[in-house]
């Protein structure tokens, strides 16, 4: 089911999200399916449950042939539950990012080049991993910091100005 994505300014985005405590449930699987459907319909690269009004620490991301990100490297579909992020090294880069909660705009956002994250699988097992993609960092930060930050960018441009 396609869910409504909350927009920047909605106070629900600032509410604290909760740890997922019940795994491998029909409700959790339905949430993940709805998130995938919503992200796919909106041609997003990632989506956190709080962005659709569900205050749980669940995030999905993945990039395939995507018109919103024509130059992006392919990233496998990934689900993170209760993610904990840890930078690997101090090296960072800035890059233009979009957010489904801020449609039509891109922001210049600094990100660590590499992250180590631990997460729970939908069935409840623990899964440590590493990532070096902007999408995993961006969406995971939204969930692992317990609430959606108002904005991690100080520079915004309209999407049209980047693609024309």
Between 47 and 67, name the one with better pLDDT.
47
Per-residue confidence (pLDDT) for residue 71, from 0 to 100: 79
pLDDT in tens, 83-109: 998 999 999 999 888 899 999 888 888
The whole-number average pLDDT for the span 46-69 is 90
Top-tier CATH class for 11-163: alpha beta
pLDDT at 138 over 60: no
pLDDT at 135 over 70: no
What mean pLDDT is reported for the chain?
81
CA distance 101 to 111: 19
Q: Report the half-sphere exposure of 92 (CA within 13 A, side-chain side).
A: 11
Question: What are the sequence ranges of the domains in the chain?
Answer: 11-163
28: left (phi over 0), alpha (psi -120 to 50) or beta: alpha
pLDDT at 79 over 90: yes
DSSP labels for 107-128?
EEEEEES-EEEEEE-TTS-EEE
- The residues with which 61 forms a beta bridge, in sequence order, are 46, 78
Between 119 and 92, name the one with better pLDDT.
92
- The residues with which 110 forms a beta bridge, in sequence order, are 94
Per-residue confidence (pLDDT) for residue 107, from 0 to 100: 86
Looking at 15-29, 33-47, 147-161, which range is the least confident one?
Answer: 147-161
Between 79 and 106, name the one with better pLDDT.
79
């Amino acid at each position: 089911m396609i869910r409504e994505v909350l927009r920047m300014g909605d106070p629900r985005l600032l509410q604290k999200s909760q740890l997922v405590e019940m795994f491998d449930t029909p409700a959790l699987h339905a949430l993940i399916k709805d998130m995938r459907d919503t992200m796919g319909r909106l041609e997003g690269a990632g989506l956190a449950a709080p962005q659709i009004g569900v205050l749980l620490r669940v995030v999905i991301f993945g990039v395939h042939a995507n018109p919103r990100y024509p130059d992006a490297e392919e990233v496998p579909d990934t689900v993170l539950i209760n993610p904990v992020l840890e930078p690997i090294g101090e090296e960072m880069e800035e890059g233009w990012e979009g957010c489904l909660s801020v449609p039509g705009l891109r922001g210049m956002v600094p990100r660590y080049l590499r992250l180590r994250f631990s997460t729970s699988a939908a069935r409840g097992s623990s899964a440590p991993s590493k990532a070096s993609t902007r999408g995993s960092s961006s969406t995971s930060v939204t969930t692992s910091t317990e609430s959606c930050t108002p904005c991690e960018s100080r520079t915004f441009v309209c999407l049209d100005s980047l693609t024309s």
